[in-house]
Amino acid sequence: MLIIRTFIKTVLHTLWYGTSSKVQTFFESFDEFLQIRPLSDARKKSFLCMVRTLQRYELYIQKPISFDNFTPEMIRGLSVFLKNEHEFYQGHPELYRLKPTRYPPKPRGQNTINDILTKLRTFFLWAVDNDKTTNNPFKKCTIGECVYGTPFYISIDERNRLYNTDLTNCPELEIQRDIFVFQCLIGCRISDLYKLSKHNVINGAVEYIAQKTKGRRPVTLRVPLNTAAKEILQKYINYNGVFLLPFATDRKYNKAIKDAFAMAGLTRMVTTLDPLTRECLLRPLNEVATSQLARRCFVGNLYKKVKDPILVGTLSGHKEGSRAFARYREIDEATKNELVKMLE
């Protein structure tokens, strides 16, 4: 099967690009971009995923993608493909044998499509700056604004309720619950959490360089450990793995978080934004809880206490004026009441 796949790719490359061309192809330039561009591991994986999607789009339109033929019309066609690829996958499984994907494509929301197009625009800007092409199709094609709902997060009381729920009959679930609570207490991104080892614990605090800043201006974050965080680390002091705690995979971790929330009775209704329809939906907290909720818990509750985004940012890694940080803030009723009292 591998031989057949290689043969087909060779034939397609010969038909489309020729055999004697010395000009770097679109995807060869993309390989160079990924090699020399300073990107975090997570972001690099995201770009590679986009490259595979573009290769499938190339097979879908049955003509080679090049810098010269990448027009605003092609961008609009790519947008339609991204939106409907999950349906196309059902009718053309042969293309997915040529360009295998680990998981079948799922419906994409507009925010996800915008993110893919933004990455593609980043590549084109690099290509123009590095004399790979003079064509930038995004000059005449705008990318829509991403739309986010009001962020929700769990309160300190809810976090403690989760931590104090007896899960001794579900030892694997108990481990992942403890990790989630620990993440709530240090506020790191999941990509940073998974890289922590015992060496990151220094003089009663966790120190790490946020993966998102490594390729630009590396920032070392130092987050002091409170009593509960130290208690969790002590609980797993005999864990001999490479990492700080016995982490599960992303999927298992997020599934465990939902199950632990349900067992703790954390099922209040929260308003979420449907990523596909962009309509507001009411859903139980346990059904929408993920690892990102831990970071929101950390940032949201700290901001409630000090109302200083710069101070909170020194612990969370958000830079001053970050739009992402603004999404974590919740102007709640208590804050509104304080503002109104200022008028008395």
| Confidence category of residue 307, pLDDT binned at 50, 70, 90 | confident
Domain 156-341 has CATH 3.20.20.150: no
| Confidence category of residue 340, pLDDT binned at 50, 70, 90 | low
User: Which position has the token pair 């490259």?
Assistant: 51
User: Which position has the token pair 């099922």?
Assistant: 267
**Predicted pLDDT of residue 212:** 67
276-to-111, 279, 328 alpha-carbon distances in Å = 9, 8, 21
| Confidence category of residue 306, pLDDT binned at 50, 70, 90 | confident
- Every domain of the chain with CATH number 1.10.443.10 lies at 156-341
**Predicted pLDDT of residue 335:** 63
Closest CA to 317 of 206, 185, 216, 212: 212
Average pLDDT, the chain: 85
- Non-local CB neighbours of 328 within 8 Å, separated by 6+ positions: 151, 153, 295, 296, 299, 300, 303, 318
User: Which position has the token pair 């810098």?
Assistant: 67
Count of Cβ atoms closer than 10 Å to residue 175 Cβ: 19
pLDDT, greater one: 206 or 97? 206
Q: Is the model's pLDDT at 27 over the cut of 80?
A: yes
CA separation for the pair 1, 14 (Å, rounded): 20
| Contacts of the segment 72-77: beta carbons below 8 A, 24+ positions apart | 72/137, 72/138, 72/140, 72/141, 74/137, 75/117, 75/120, 75/137, 75/138, 75/141, 76/141
**Predicted pLDDT of residue 148:** 78
**Predicted pLDDT of residue 54:** 94
**Predicted pLDDT of residue 92:** 79
Q: Is the model's pLDDT at 103 over the cut of 80?
A: no
**Predicted pLDDT of residue 84:** 93
Q: Is the model's pLDDT at 217 over the cut of 70?
A: no
pLDDT, greater one: 26 or 335? 26
CA separation for the pair 219, 23 (Å, rounded): 39
Determine contact, residues 300/312, Cβ cutoff 8 Å: no
Q: Is the model's pLDDT at 132 over the cut of 90?
A: yes
CA separation for the pair 321, 297 (Å, rounded): 20
**Predicted pLDDT of residue 12:** 53
> What is the C-alpha radius of gyration for the chain, rounded to an integer number of angstroms?
24
Q: Is the model's pLDDT at 332 over the cut of 70?
A: no
